[in-house]
Structure 1
Amino acid sequence: MEQLRTEINSRLEELLEPLKNGPVKEAMSYSLLAPGKRLRPLLFLSVLRSYQIDYHIYMDIACAIEMIHTYSLIHDDLPGMDNDDLRRGRPTCHKQFDEATAILAGDALLNLGVNTILNISIDSDLKVKLLNRLYEASGINGMIYGQQQDITFEKQLANLEQLKDIHKHKTGELIAVSMQLGSLIANPSDYQYWTSIGFDLGLAFQIQDDILDVVGNTEQLGKKVGSDQENHKTTYVSLIGIDKSELAIQELFKKCYENIYAMRINHGLILELLSIILKRVN
């Protein structure tokens, strides 16, 4: 996985290089190239590899996914949203630069993600399908809806079903679409399996975040801990406690394993990545 992460980082640098110089490009580079897990592009590439497909052809799609994820983090951290000071162990984009530059950097990364995929030499019909699904997942019916609901429930307590809905859209959509795009390329008949895995993994990932906000530390997480409780935010931990939250994670991973084994793929490649996610501390 480390080799894949290195390849992703190198290609991200190359894609940023031709952009016009200035504070917006600096802010894009600062946020996009910050130390990160690269989970979503790794999921996409791992799906392709599980079908023994040459992933190098599709590396720019992996990079586009990371661009969209990073844009969402920049905007999520803004004073009008979560107003966070720390991201990936460094000052957030608007703290390092300024709010206007951070907004433009997020906008530019979203735009660059589209252009990056448009410039790939693959079948045009497939390209349209991939772009359509990716921007559905990151748009008003997907990730943006999740952010909207997250903001709405800052002013009121959410119940468990409402919290699941927030997590499904805010976190799950981009994790699920990373696997869905791989399926659309490699084997569309397995699409529903990857969809289920993606959303279950996304929910498990967010529950992990809820737990880490309580038991983690700022140095490992790369962001402030205890902010959920400080902001009176509804989380899995606040609703059902740490022990039941951990059980929920185990159940979600069990469902992921069942769907993985239902497909004729190289299971080990996906299981390796899921094992890393299950054991994560940041």
Structure 2
Amino acid sequence: MKTRRTQTIERTRLVPHTVDGETELVLDREKIEVPAPPRDWDQLVRIGVTIGACILVTVALVWSTSAIGGLLALSVVAVVAYAAAVAFDMTWIMCMAVEWLLRYDPARAKTARRAGRWALAVSMAAVFAHGYVFDQPVIGIVGASVSALAKGGWGIAMRVHARPLDDRTQQWFEKRRATLDGQLAMIPIRRELLRGQSMIEAERRALAAENGSADPETSGLPEDVPEDPDPKVSEIRSGRVTTQEAVRNAWDSGIQDPEAVLRIVRSSTGRDVPQSSVDRYLRALRVGA
């Protein structure tokens, strides 16, 4: 009788465990034998096809780079020639990668597929030209076929992994993707708008400070509203002297020259108070006098 294959798996469950009268739920691990599932030969073949396609693409890239690099080396330095030769096959390989990413969007994948065919044709022509220049046209034809076989192998691998959608499911997918794409697109747009708004606010504050139109003590107050209804009465503040108090102290000391008062105010408050703020307080004191 044939013995059925088994595999060992670990199961965990929460069980109560008591120590010194305190109970906690802990994990109880148990290893059991369960029947092993049958070998998935379809998946193994699918993996083999994919690996084979990748090997073909790698061989084609190496061969084309060697042939086209040898051709270009006739006119430029070898290092530059072989570096440029990589572009010929890398172009259609990149197109195949894009086609893979867009495999659920046939309309967009069509452009990548068409571009890949043109890039493949250019690469094959360059490989053939290498053989033709060295009087070996047969080798040129055979060498050019390597890239064609590689692309064909990748196309077969893509068909193996393809999951075609029916028309209604395709429409549903495209609508959901369009909604998500719109939300993703709004992320950098909002970031750009917020960055621009921040720059405008920073520029506005910088210009206001440069023109002396803003004072930390009176920012946000209308220009025609007096800061103190009665200039003879000053609010008692603890700590650092305010701009109004410094102006009043200078006024009481008999100093009325705006520039002299400004120097005293900046020295007393320790801030770069604008001249316009000092002038407003002086005007209020003159009116009160």
- Same fold flag (TM > 0.5): no
Say which structure is richer in strand: 2
TM range (shorter): under 0.3
Structure number with the higher helix fraction is 1
Pick 1 or 2: higher relative contact order, CA cutoff 8 A, min separation 6: 1
